[in-house]
């Protein structure tokens, strides 16, 4: 079982419109990556900033075809989130 300390951090998030983003740092408790193009499912665009006083981690990855995915857990050392096919995608995603 993966422990919180073993989850990869969101090293950089360039999606400034996300309410969890503060100065390119993700402050969500944990993000979920999924969809047909490795979308950050935690992306939310509302009128205020929110989140925790620490850097977010990848809590789950539904892209089982990614080289970093093991049993729906991300094993990358860190991830980057930014504009890809959508406004907020996992840029670390790499198909196996």
CA-closest candidate to residue 11, choices 52, 54, 61, 55 = 55
For residues 14-35, average pLDDT: 97
Structure tokens at 20: 């969890």
Picking from 26, 11, 10, 3, the residue whose alpha carbon sits closest to that of residue 73 is 3
| Residue 1: per-residue pLDDT | 43
pLDDT at 4: 56
pLDDT tens, position by position, 69-91:
999 999 999 999 999 999 999 99
Domain range summary for the chain, segments of one domain joined by +: 10-90
Mean pLDDT over 53-60 rounds to: 96
Q: How confident is the model at residue 5 (pLDDT cuts 50, 70, 90)?
A: low
């Amino acid at each position: 079982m993966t422990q919180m300390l073993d989850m990869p951090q969101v090293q950089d998030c360039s999606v400034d419109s996300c309410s969890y983003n503060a100065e390119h740092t993700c402050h969500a408790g944990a993000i979920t990556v999924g969809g047909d193009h490795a979308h950050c499912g935690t992306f939310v665009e509302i009128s205020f900033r929110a989140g925790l006083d620490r850097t977010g981690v990848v809590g789950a990855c539904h892209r089982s075809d990614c080289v970093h995915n093991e049993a729906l857990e991300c094993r990358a050392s860190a991830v980057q989130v930014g504009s890809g096919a959508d406004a907020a995608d996992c840029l670390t995603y790499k198909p196996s």
